[in-house]
Amino acid sequence: MKRHKYVLAATTCALAVTLTAGACTASDDAVSGSGTAKAAAADGPAADGGTLKVGLDRPFTKLDPADGTLTSMPMMVLANALYDPLMVNGDNGVVQPYLAKSFTPNSDATGWTLQLREGVKFSDGKPLDAQAVVDHVKRLAKPESKCSCAADAATIGALKANGPTTVDFTLKAPNAAFPGLFTRSLGYISETPNAEGAAVGSGPYTVESVQPGVSVTVARNPAYWGAKGHADKIVYQVLPDSDSRYQSLRSGDADLIWTETPTQFKQAAGDGLRTATGPGATSTVLFNTKAAPFDDPRVRQALQYAVDREAVEKVVFLDQGTVADGPIGSRSPYHAANTYPAHDPAKARALLAEAGHPDLSFDYLVDNRPEAQQRATVLQQMFAEAGVKMTIKPMDAASLGTAMFQRKFQVMDFVTSMFGDTDSALNSLYTARSPYNFTGYSKPEAEQAIAAGRAELDAAKRGAAYNEAAKAIVADAPMLFLTESPAGFLASAEVGGLPDLSRRTVINVSPAGLWVKK
Protein backbone atom coordinates (compact mmCIF):
# COMPACT_ATOMS: atom_id res chain seq x y z
CA MET A 1 0.00 0.00 0.00
CA LYS A 2 1.34 3.39 -0.94
CA ARG A 3 1.59 6.20 1.55
CA HIS A 4 -1.35 8.17 0.11
CA LYS A 5 -3.59 5.19 0.85
CA TYR A 6 -2.69 5.41 4.50
CA VAL A 7 -3.91 9.00 4.39
CA LEU A 8 -7.21 8.03 2.78
CA ALA A 9 -7.92 5.18 5.17
CA ALA A 10 -6.90 7.10 8.25
CA THR A 11 -9.21 9.98 7.50
CA THR A 12 -12.07 7.53 7.67
CA CYS A 13 -11.73 6.35 11.07
CA ALA A 14 23.22 17.27 30.45
CA LEU A 15 23.02 17.33 34.02
CA ALA A 16 25.95 19.23 35.66
CA VAL A 17 28.07 17.59 38.37
CA THR A 18 27.02 20.29 40.83
CA LEU A 19 23.64 21.93 40.35
CA THR A 20 23.67 25.38 41.90
CA ALA A 21 21.07 28.07 42.35
CA GLY A 22 22.87 30.03 39.68
CA ALA A 23 21.49 27.62 37.11
CA CYS A 24 18.07 29.20 37.57
CA THR A 25 16.20 31.41 39.96
CA ALA A 26 12.98 30.71 41.81
CA SER A 27 10.95 32.38 39.10
CA ASP A 28 8.05 31.25 36.98
CA ASP A 29 10.57 30.42 34.24
CA ALA A 30 11.80 27.45 36.25
CA VAL A 31 8.43 25.73 36.16
CA SER A 32 7.07 27.00 32.88
CA GLY A 33 9.35 27.98 30.02
CA SER A 34 12.55 29.89 29.34
CA GLY A 35 10.62 32.45 27.36
CA THR A 36 8.12 33.33 30.08
CA ALA A 37 9.45 36.83 30.70
CA LYS A 38 9.61 37.50 26.97
CA ALA A 39 6.12 36.15 26.47
CA ALA A 40 4.80 38.24 29.33
CA ALA A 41 6.34 41.39 27.85
CA ALA A 42 4.59 40.68 24.57
CA ASP A 43 1.29 40.37 26.46
CA GLY A 44 1.72 43.72 28.15
CA PRO A 45 1.53 44.37 31.90
CA ALA A 46 0.35 41.45 34.01
CA ALA A 47 -3.19 41.76 35.32
CA ASP A 48 -3.73 40.67 38.91
CA GLY A 49 -7.09 39.41 40.12
CA GLY A 50 -9.92 37.45 38.62
CA THR A 51 -10.41 33.71 38.17
CA LEU A 52 -8.51 31.44 35.79
CA LYS A 53 -10.49 28.41 34.53
CA VAL A 54 -8.46 25.33 33.59
CA GLY A 55 -9.72 22.17 31.89
CA LEU A 56 -7.92 19.01 33.06
CA ASP A 57 -7.68 15.94 30.84
CA ARG A 58 -8.13 13.29 33.57
CA PRO A 59 -9.64 12.81 37.03
CA PHE A 60 -7.63 12.79 40.23
CA THR A 61 -8.33 10.73 43.33
CA LYS A 62 -6.60 12.93 45.89
CA LEU A 63 -4.52 16.08 46.14
CA ASP A 64 -1.34 14.39 47.27
CA PRO A 65 2.00 14.04 45.42
CA ALA A 66 1.78 10.33 46.27
CA ASP A 67 -0.94 10.11 43.61
CA GLY A 68 0.87 9.57 40.32
CA THR A 69 -2.05 11.08 38.41
CA LEU A 70 -1.48 14.44 40.04
CA THR A 71 2.18 14.51 39.00
CA SER A 72 1.64 13.33 35.42
CA MET A 73 2.69 15.91 32.87
CA PRO A 74 -0.82 17.20 31.97
CA MET A 75 -1.72 17.56 35.66
CA MET A 76 1.34 19.40 36.90
CA VAL A 77 -0.46 22.67 36.14
CA LEU A 78 -2.54 21.71 39.21
CA ALA A 79 0.30 20.23 41.26
CA ASN A 80 2.36 23.39 40.77
CA ALA A 81 -0.41 25.48 42.29
CA LEU A 82 -0.18 23.61 45.59
CA TYR A 83 3.39 22.30 45.80
CA ASP A 84 6.84 23.60 44.97
CA PRO A 85 9.29 21.09 43.43
CA LEU A 86 12.85 20.64 44.62
CA MET A 87 14.01 20.29 41.01
CA VAL A 88 12.48 21.01 37.59
CA ASN A 89 13.09 19.86 34.03
CA GLY A 90 14.43 22.77 32.01
CA ASP A 91 15.01 23.16 28.30
CA ASN A 92 16.20 20.06 26.43
CA GLY A 93 15.74 17.83 29.46
CA VAL A 94 18.31 19.57 31.68
CA VAL A 95 17.40 19.36 35.39
CA GLN A 96 17.52 22.61 37.38
CA PRO A 97 17.06 23.56 41.05
CA TYR A 98 13.91 25.25 42.36
CA LEU A 99 13.37 24.80 46.10
CA ALA A 100 16.85 23.32 46.12
CA LYS A 101 19.81 25.68 46.12
CA SER A 102 22.18 22.88 45.15
CA PHE A 103 22.36 19.10 44.83
CA THR A 104 25.97 17.90 45.00
CA PRO A 105 27.39 14.37 44.59
CA ASN A 106 30.39 12.70 46.14
CA SER A 107 33.16 11.37 43.89
CA ASP A 108 31.32 8.21 42.77
CA ALA A 109 27.69 9.44 42.81
CA THR A 110 26.72 7.14 45.69
CA GLY A 111 26.14 10.09 48.03
CA TRP A 112 24.35 13.40 47.41
CA THR A 113 23.96 16.52 49.53
CA LEU A 114 20.87 18.69 49.11
CA GLN A 115 20.93 22.34 50.17
CA LEU A 116 17.50 23.96 50.52
CA ARG A 117 16.48 27.56 50.13
CA GLU A 118 16.07 29.26 53.46
CA GLY A 119 12.84 30.71 54.81
CA VAL A 120 10.38 28.57 52.81
CA LYS A 121 7.21 27.63 54.69
CA PHE A 122 4.27 25.36 54.08
CA SER A 123 0.95 27.10 53.61
CA ASP A 124 0.05 26.27 57.23
CA GLY A 125 3.08 28.22 58.44
CA LYS A 126 5.32 25.29 59.32
CA PRO A 127 8.90 25.44 58.01
CA LEU A 128 9.80 23.50 54.88
CA ASP A 129 13.17 22.43 56.19
CA ALA A 130 15.51 19.48 55.85
CA GLN A 131 13.48 17.32 58.24
CA ALA A 132 10.36 18.01 56.21
CA VAL A 133 12.14 16.69 53.11
CA VAL A 134 13.21 13.55 54.99
CA ASP A 135 9.68 12.98 56.32
CA HIS A 136 8.15 13.49 52.85
CA VAL A 137 10.48 11.03 51.11
CA LYS A 138 9.99 8.42 53.83
CA ARG A 139 6.20 8.83 53.66
CA LEU A 140 6.08 8.32 49.90
CA ALA A 141 8.45 5.35 50.14
CA LYS A 142 5.99 3.40 52.31
CA PRO A 143 3.92 0.78 50.45
CA GLU A 144 0.68 2.20 51.82
CA SER A 145 1.32 5.51 50.04
CA LYS A 146 0.87 3.68 46.72
CA CYS A 147 3.21 6.22 45.12
CA SER A 148 4.57 5.34 41.69
CA CYS A 149 7.79 6.88 42.98
CA ALA A 150 8.36 3.97 45.36
CA ALA A 151 10.87 2.40 42.96
CA ASP A 152 12.87 5.63 42.96
CA ALA A 153 12.70 5.94 46.74
CA ALA A 154 13.90 2.34 47.04
CA THR A 155 17.24 3.33 45.50
CA ILE A 156 17.97 5.42 48.61
CA GLY A 157 19.83 3.47 51.28
CA ALA A 158 19.68 6.17 53.93
CA LEU A 159 18.85 9.85 54.29
CA LYS A 160 19.11 12.28 57.17
CA ALA A 161 18.71 15.94 57.98
CA ASN A 162 22.07 17.52 58.70
CA GLY A 163 21.04 20.93 59.97
CA PRO A 164 17.96 23.00 59.03
CA THR A 165 18.64 23.20 55.28
CA THR A 166 20.86 20.20 54.48
CA VAL A 167 19.85 16.64 53.61
CA ASP A 168 22.38 13.87 53.03
CA PHE A 169 21.42 10.92 50.84
CA THR A 170 23.29 7.62 50.68
CA LEU A 171 22.34 5.52 47.64
CA LYS A 172 22.36 1.76 47.20
CA ALA A 173 24.09 2.15 43.83
CA PRO A 174 25.70 5.05 41.95
CA ASN A 175 23.27 7.41 40.25
CA ALA A 176 24.71 10.46 38.53
CA ALA A 177 21.19 11.59 37.62
CA PHE A 178 19.79 11.34 41.14
CA PRO A 179 18.47 14.95 41.31
CA GLY A 180 16.18 14.12 38.40
CA LEU A 181 14.15 11.88 40.72
CA PHE A 182 12.95 15.02 42.51
CA THR A 183 11.16 16.76 39.65
CA ARG A 184 7.81 15.09 40.36
CA SER A 185 6.34 13.12 43.31
CA LEU A 186 9.48 12.87 45.44
CA GLY A 187 10.28 16.52 44.77
CA TYR A 188 6.86 18.01 45.55
CA ILE A 189 7.56 18.33 49.26
CA SER A 190 4.40 18.13 51.35
CA GLU A 191 3.09 17.34 54.80
CA THR A 192 0.89 14.36 55.62
CA PRO A 193 -2.59 14.76 54.03
CA ASN A 194 -5.23 16.46 56.19
CA ALA A 195 -8.68 15.09 57.04
CA GLU A 196 -9.93 16.04 53.56
CA GLY A 197 -7.14 14.04 51.94
CA ALA A 198 -5.17 17.03 50.68
CA ALA A 199 -1.45 17.17 51.44
CA VAL A 200 -0.21 20.57 52.58
CA GLY A 201 2.43 22.10 50.31
CA SER A 202 4.34 25.35 49.95
CA GLY A 203 2.86 26.42 46.61
CA PRO A 204 1.43 29.77 45.49
CA TYR A 205 -2.17 28.59 46.02
CA THR A 206 -4.13 26.68 48.67
CA VAL A 207 -7.22 24.50 48.38
CA GLU A 208 -10.54 26.28 48.84
CA SER A 209 -12.87 23.45 47.81
CA VAL A 210 -12.55 20.08 46.11
CA GLN A 211 -14.71 17.39 44.55
CA PRO A 212 -12.32 14.48 43.88
CA GLY A 213 -12.41 13.49 40.24
CA VAL A 214 -14.63 16.45 39.35
CA SER A 215 -13.18 19.85 40.25
CA VAL A 216 -10.99 21.80 42.63
CA THR A 217 -10.86 25.52 43.40
CA VAL A 218 -7.68 27.07 44.77
CA ALA A 219 -7.10 30.54 46.18
CA ARG A 220 -3.94 32.64 46.24
CA ASN A 221 -1.64 31.86 49.17
CA PRO A 222 -1.10 35.27 50.84
CA ALA A 223 1.97 34.01 52.72
CA TYR A 224 3.70 32.51 49.70
CA TRP A 225 7.49 32.84 49.90
CA GLY A 226 7.98 33.52 46.16
CA ALA A 227 6.34 35.66 43.50
CA LYS A 228 2.60 35.78 44.15
CA GLY A 229 0.16 34.24 41.70
CA HIS A 230 -1.65 36.70 39.42
CA ALA A 231 -5.13 35.16 39.55
CA ASP A 232 -7.10 35.43 42.80
CA LYS A 233 -8.51 31.97 42.20
CA ILE A 234 -8.10 29.07 39.81
CA VAL A 235 -10.94 26.67 39.08
CA TYR A 236 -9.90 23.28 37.67
CA GLN A 237 -12.58 21.20 35.94
CA VAL A 238 -12.06 17.55 34.94
CA LEU A 239 -12.95 17.27 31.24
CA PRO A 240 -11.64 13.89 30.02
CA ASP A 241 -13.11 14.01 26.51
CA SER A 242 -10.70 15.91 24.25
CA ASP A 243 -13.39 17.29 21.94
CA SER A 244 -15.56 18.49 24.82
CA ARG A 245 -12.53 20.06 26.46
CA TYR A 246 -11.70 21.94 23.27
CA GLN A 247 -15.28 23.16 22.89
CA SER A 248 -15.26 24.40 26.49
CA LEU A 249 -12.27 26.55 25.57
CA ARG A 250 -13.97 27.92 22.46
CA SER A 251 -17.15 28.72 24.39
CA GLY A 252 -15.32 30.46 27.23
CA ASP A 253 -16.14 27.88 29.88
CA ALA A 254 -12.39 27.27 30.16
CA ASP A 255 -9.46 29.64 29.70
CA LEU A 256 -6.75 26.99 29.41
CA ILE A 257 -6.77 23.29 28.47
CA TRP A 258 -4.29 20.48 27.95
CA THR A 259 -4.26 18.70 24.60
CA GLU A 260 -2.22 16.22 22.60
CA THR A 261 -4.65 16.16 19.66
CA PRO A 262 -2.97 17.20 16.36
CA THR A 263 -6.16 18.47 14.73
CA GLN A 264 -6.74 20.81 17.65
CA PHE A 265 -3.29 22.32 17.30
CA LYS A 266 -4.00 22.87 13.60
CA GLN A 267 -7.42 24.36 14.27
CA ALA A 268 -6.45 26.58 17.20
CA ALA A 269 -5.12 29.56 15.24
CA GLY A 270 -8.27 29.74 13.13
CA ASP A 271 -10.35 29.76 16.30
CA GLY A 272 -8.36 32.65 17.77
CA LEU A 273 -6.65 30.48 20.40
CA ARG A 274 -3.09 30.56 21.66
CA THR A 275 -0.73 27.58 21.95
CA ALA A 276 2.13 26.62 24.25
CA THR A 277 3.57 23.24 23.30
CA GLY A 278 6.74 21.22 23.47
CA PRO A 279 7.95 17.89 22.07
CA GLY A 280 6.61 16.10 25.12
CA ALA A 281 4.88 13.00 23.71
CA THR A 282 6.58 9.97 22.17
CA SER A 283 4.37 7.36 20.50
CA THR A 284 5.57 3.77 20.62
CA VAL A 285 4.36 0.17 20.35
CA LEU A 286 5.02 -2.28 23.20
CA PHE A 287 5.61 -6.02 22.74
CA ASN A 288 5.19 -8.61 25.47
CA THR A 289 8.62 -10.17 25.10
CA LYS A 290 7.83 -12.82 27.73
CA ALA A 291 5.19 -14.55 25.62
CA ALA A 292 5.28 -16.22 22.20
CA PRO A 293 5.58 -15.18 19.46
CA PHE A 294 7.05 -11.88 20.62
CA ASP A 295 9.69 -13.59 22.71
CA ASP A 296 11.44 -14.11 19.33
CA PRO A 297 13.35 -10.94 18.37
CA ARG A 298 12.92 -11.80 14.69
CA VAL A 299 9.16 -11.35 14.99
CA ARG A 300 9.60 -7.98 16.69
CA GLN A 301 12.20 -6.90 14.14
CA ALA A 302 9.85 -7.89 11.32
CA LEU A 303 7.19 -5.50 12.59
CA GLN A 304 9.89 -2.86 12.99
CA TYR A 305 10.59 -3.14 9.24
CA ALA A 306 6.87 -3.09 8.48
CA VAL A 307 6.32 0.40 9.91
CA ASP A 308 6.74 3.54 7.82
CA ARG A 309 7.38 6.08 10.59
CA GLU A 310 7.34 9.04 8.21
CA ALA A 311 3.84 8.06 7.07
CA VAL A 312 2.66 7.72 10.68
CA GLU A 313 3.96 11.19 11.46
CA LYS A 314 2.37 12.72 8.37
CA VAL A 315 -1.01 11.03 8.63
CA VAL A 316 -1.60 10.95 12.38
CA PHE A 317 0.38 13.97 13.54
CA LEU A 318 -0.15 16.14 10.47
CA ASP A 319 3.54 16.99 9.99
CA GLN A 320 3.72 18.70 13.39
CA GLY A 321 6.30 16.38 14.92
CA THR A 322 9.21 14.23 13.86
CA VAL A 323 10.02 10.54 13.66
CA ALA A 324 11.53 8.87 16.73
CA ASP A 325 14.73 6.84 16.34
CA GLY A 326 15.14 5.20 19.72
CA PRO A 327 14.86 5.58 23.50
CA ILE A 328 16.96 8.76 23.64
CA GLY A 329 14.76 11.65 22.52
CA SER A 330 16.00 14.04 19.85
CA ARG A 331 16.04 16.93 22.36
CA SER A 332 18.00 15.02 24.98
CA PRO A 333 21.54 16.27 25.69
CA TYR A 334 22.60 12.62 25.26
CA HIS A 335 21.07 12.15 21.82
CA ALA A 336 23.21 10.87 18.97
CA ALA A 337 21.92 9.82 15.57
CA ASN A 338 20.73 6.23 15.73
CA THR A 339 20.45 3.90 12.74
CA TYR A 340 16.84 2.81 12.79
CA PRO A 341 15.60 0.10 10.40
CA ALA A 342 14.06 1.59 7.26
CA HIS A 343 10.58 0.70 6.07
CA ASP A 344 10.91 -2.61 4.19
CA PRO A 345 7.79 -4.85 3.99
CA ALA A 346 9.68 -7.48 2.00
CA LYS A 347 12.31 -7.75 4.75
CA ALA A 348 9.49 -8.01 7.28
CA ARG A 349 7.93 -10.93 5.40
CA ALA A 350 11.28 -12.71 5.14
CA LEU A 351 11.95 -12.41 8.88
CA LEU A 352 8.48 -13.69 9.74
CA ALA A 353 8.97 -16.69 7.45
CA GLU A 354 12.37 -17.38 9.01
CA ALA A 355 10.82 -17.23 12.48
CA GLY A 356 8.05 -19.65 11.46
CA HIS A 357 5.24 -17.07 11.57
CA PRO A 358 4.41 -16.23 7.94
CA ASP A 359 0.75 -15.70 8.90
CA LEU A 360 1.26 -13.78 12.14
CA SER A 361 -1.83 -12.42 13.86
CA PHE A 362 -2.25 -10.60 17.16
CA ASP A 363 -4.47 -8.28 19.20
CA TYR A 364 -3.45 -4.64 19.51
CA LEU A 365 -4.63 -2.85 22.68
CA VAL A 366 -5.28 0.87 22.35
CA ASP A 367 -7.25 3.54 24.19
CA ASN A 368 -10.35 5.28 22.86
CA ARG A 369 -8.84 8.64 21.86
CA PRO A 370 -9.37 9.52 18.18
CA GLU A 371 -5.66 9.99 17.49
CA ALA A 372 -4.85 6.62 19.10
CA GLN A 373 -7.50 4.92 16.99
CA GLN A 374 -6.16 6.60 13.87
CA ARG A 375 -2.59 5.54 14.67
CA ALA A 376 -3.77 1.96 15.21
CA THR A 377 -5.60 1.97 11.88
CA VAL A 378 -2.51 3.16 10.01
CA LEU A 379 -0.34 0.52 11.69
CA GLN A 380 -2.92 -2.14 10.87
CA GLN A 381 -2.59 -1.29 7.18
CA MET A 382 1.20 -1.31 7.30
CA PHE A 383 1.34 -4.67 9.04
CA ALA A 384 -1.11 -6.08 6.50
CA GLU A 385 1.43 -5.29 3.76
CA ALA A 386 3.77 -7.71 5.51
CA GLY A 387 1.09 -10.39 5.70
CA VAL A 388 0.25 -9.69 9.35
CA LYS A 389 -3.30 -9.58 10.72
CA MET A 390 -3.68 -7.06 13.53
CA THR A 391 -6.99 -6.85 15.41
CA ILE A 392 -7.59 -3.52 17.12
CA LYS A 393 -8.93 -3.83 20.67
CA PRO A 394 -10.04 -0.45 22.10
CA MET A 395 -10.05 -0.12 25.89
CA ASP A 396 -10.69 2.57 28.46
CA ALA A 397 -7.58 4.19 29.91
CA ALA A 398 -7.84 2.43 33.29
CA SER A 399 -8.15 -1.04 31.75
CA LEU A 400 -5.30 -0.32 29.37
CA GLY A 401 -3.08 0.71 32.27
CA THR A 402 -3.93 -2.45 34.19
CA ALA A 403 -3.12 -4.62 31.18
CA MET A 404 0.20 -2.83 30.78
CA PHE A 405 1.34 -3.14 34.40
CA GLN A 406 0.22 -6.75 34.65
CA ARG A 407 1.70 -7.54 31.22
CA LYS A 408 -1.58 -8.97 29.99
CA PHE A 409 -1.17 -8.04 26.35
CA GLN A 410 0.47 -9.17 23.14
CA VAL A 411 1.04 -5.75 21.56
CA MET A 412 -0.19 -2.37 22.73
CA ASP A 413 -0.11 1.34 22.00
CA PHE A 414 2.02 3.43 24.40
CA VAL A 415 2.32 7.21 24.29
CA THR A 416 4.46 8.69 27.04
CA SER A 417 6.42 11.70 28.25
CA MET A 418 8.94 9.37 29.94
CA PHE A 419 11.49 9.81 27.16
CA GLY A 420 11.79 13.49 28.06
CA ASP A 421 14.02 12.32 30.91
CA THR A 422 16.58 9.95 29.39
CA ASP A 423 18.14 8.85 32.67
CA SER A 424 14.84 7.74 34.17
CA ALA A 425 13.42 6.32 30.94
CA LEU A 426 16.33 3.97 30.29
CA ASN A 427 16.48 2.73 33.86
CA SER A 428 12.71 2.39 34.18
CA LEU A 429 11.78 0.77 30.87
CA TYR A 430 14.73 -1.52 30.10
CA THR A 431 16.10 -2.96 33.33
CA ALA A 432 14.86 -6.33 34.56
CA ARG A 433 13.85 -5.35 38.09
CA SER A 434 12.03 -2.14 37.28
CA PRO A 435 8.24 -2.17 37.84
CA TYR A 436 7.96 -0.08 34.66
CA ASN A 437 9.62 -2.64 32.41
CA PHE A 438 6.29 -3.25 30.72
CA THR A 439 7.73 -5.34 27.88
CA GLY A 440 9.69 -7.71 30.12
CA TYR A 441 12.81 -6.93 28.10
CA SER A 442 16.12 -8.01 29.56
CA LYS A 443 19.55 -7.96 27.93
CA PRO A 444 22.78 -7.94 29.96
CA GLU A 445 24.64 -5.71 27.49
CA ALA A 446 21.95 -3.05 27.62
CA GLU A 447 21.62 -3.17 31.40
CA GLN A 448 25.39 -2.94 31.86
CA ALA A 449 25.52 0.13 29.59
CA ILE A 450 22.64 1.78 31.46
CA ALA A 451 24.28 1.08 34.81
CA ALA A 452 27.59 2.45 33.52
CA GLY A 453 25.84 5.62 32.38
CA ARG A 454 24.05 6.11 35.69
CA ALA A 455 27.35 5.80 37.54
CA GLU A 456 29.19 8.29 35.30
CA LEU A 457 29.35 11.92 36.46
CA ASP A 458 30.95 13.05 33.21
CA ALA A 459 27.99 13.88 30.94
CA ALA A 460 29.82 13.00 27.70
CA LYS A 461 30.84 9.57 28.99
CA ARG A 462 27.36 9.02 30.36
CA GLY A 463 25.89 9.84 26.96
CA ALA A 464 28.24 7.40 25.24
CA ALA A 465 27.14 4.60 27.59
CA TYR A 466 23.47 5.44 27.10
CA ASN A 467 23.85 5.38 23.32
CA GLU A 468 25.38 1.90 23.52
CA ALA A 469 22.27 0.82 25.40
CA ALA A 470 20.04 2.56 22.85
CA LYS A 471 21.67 0.65 19.97
CA ALA A 472 21.02 -2.67 21.72
CA ILE A 473 17.43 -1.73 22.45
CA VAL A 474 16.68 -0.69 18.87
CA ALA A 475 18.33 -3.87 17.56
CA ASP A 476 16.28 -6.12 19.86
CA ALA A 477 13.05 -4.15 19.30
CA PRO A 478 11.17 -4.73 22.59
CA MET A 479 9.20 -1.70 21.44
CA LEU A 480 8.77 0.20 18.20
CA PHE A 481 9.50 3.91 18.16
CA LEU A 482 7.13 5.93 15.99
CA THR A 483 7.03 9.70 16.51
CA GLU A 484 7.88 12.59 18.78
CA SER A 485 4.89 14.89 18.75
CA PRO A 486 3.74 18.12 20.38
CA ALA A 487 1.82 18.26 23.63
CA GLY A 488 0.82 21.15 25.80
CA PHE A 489 -1.73 23.87 26.33
CA LEU A 490 -4.27 25.81 24.34
CA ALA A 491 -5.54 29.05 25.79
CA SER A 492 -8.01 31.78 24.99
CA ALA A 493 -6.71 35.10 23.72
CA GLU A 494 -7.53 36.53 27.15
CA VAL A 495 -4.83 34.52 28.93
CA GLY A 496 -1.52 36.31 29.46
CA GLY A 497 1.89 35.01 30.47
CA LEU A 498 1.67 31.86 28.38
CA PRO A 499 5.24 30.50 28.31
CA ASP A 500 7.51 29.32 25.51
CA LEU A 501 7.65 25.55 25.88
CA SER A 502 9.15 24.75 22.49
CA ARG A 503 12.33 23.27 24.01
CA ARG A 504 10.66 21.46 26.88
CA THR A 505 10.64 17.66 26.73
CA VAL A 506 8.81 17.65 30.07
CA ILE A 507 6.08 20.30 30.13
CA ASN A 508 5.76 21.76 33.59
CA VAL A 509 3.76 24.99 33.85
CA SER A 510 3.07 27.01 36.97
CA PRO A 511 -0.37 28.67 36.89
CA ALA A 512 1.03 31.41 39.12
CA GLY A 513 2.64 33.04 36.08
CA LEU A 514 -0.62 33.21 34.10
CA TRP A 515 -3.26 35.91 34.21
CA VAL A 516 -6.60 36.70 32.66
CA LYS A 517 -6.45 39.94 30.68
CA LYS A 518 -8.97 42.59 31.66
Residue 164: asked if its preceding bond is cis (omega within 30°), the reply is: no
What Cα–Cα distance (Å) separates residue 222 from each residue in 46, 92, 132?
Answer: 18, 34, 21
Is residue 444 classed exposed, middle or buried when 0-12, 13-18 and 19+ CB atoms within 10 A define those classes? exposed
Maximum Cα interatomic distance, the chain, rounded to a whole number of Å: 69
193: pLDDT strictly greater than 90: no
pLDDT tens for 414-469 read 998 888 889 989 999 999 989 899 999 999 999 999 999 999 999 999 999 999 99
Is residue 396 classed exposed, middle or buried when 0-12, 13-18 and 19+ CB atoms within 10 A define those classes? exposed
**H/E stretch holding 424:** helix 422-429
Of the pLDDT bands very low, low, confident and very high (cuts 50, 70, 90), residue 41 is low
Residue 159: name the closest of 177, 180, 133, 140 by CA: 133
Look at residue 261 in the predicted model and tell me its pLDDT.
Answer: 87
Look at residue 235 in the predicted model and tell me its pLDDT.
Answer: 98
Of the pLDDT bands very low, low, confident and very high (cuts 50, 70, 90), residue 156 is very high
* Most confident residue range from 63-72, 351-360, 498-507: 351-360
**H/E stretch holding 262:** helix 262-268
26: pLDDT strictly greater than 80: no
Mean pLDDT score across all residues of the chain: 89
